[in-house]
Amino acid sequence: MSEPGPKSPCISVCVLDDDDICMGCYRSANEITDWTMSTDEQKREILRRAQERLQASNPIRL
């Protein structure tokens, strides 16, 4: 049995900023749209970029 892929980081706070980044999960609009068709590797890369955006927007928040 294979392990499930990465879970969506969506927290149902779907508000995009001026750069089309969701203020809830820090994914871009394109990353959100492409999520279901992405491979597990692509999803991990999306999550990595979202984490970087989160850290850049609020470096104190973990």
Q: 34-58, pLDDT tens digit by residue?
A: 999 999 999 999 999 999 999 998 7
Q: Is residue 5 one of the residues assigned to a domain?
A: no
Looking at the domain assignment, is residue 6 inside a domain?
A: no
Asked, for residue 1, whether it belongs to a domain, the answer is no
Task: Kindly report the average pLDDT of the chain as a whole number.
Answer: 92
37 found inside a domain: yes
Whole-prediction pTM: 0.86
For residue 1, what pLDDT band results from cuts at 50, 70 and 90? low
Number of folded domains that form the chain: 1
Does 2 reside within a domain?
Answer: no
Is 24 within the bounds of a domain?
yes
- Beta bridge mates, 16: 22
Using the predicted structure, report yes or no on whether residue 61 has a pLDDT greater than 70: no
In terms of residue numbers, what domain contains 17? 11-62
User: 25: burial class by Cβ within 10 Å (0-12, 13-18, 19+)?
Assistant: buried
Instruction: Say what percent of the chain tops pLDDT 90.
Output: 82
Any domain includes 52 = yes
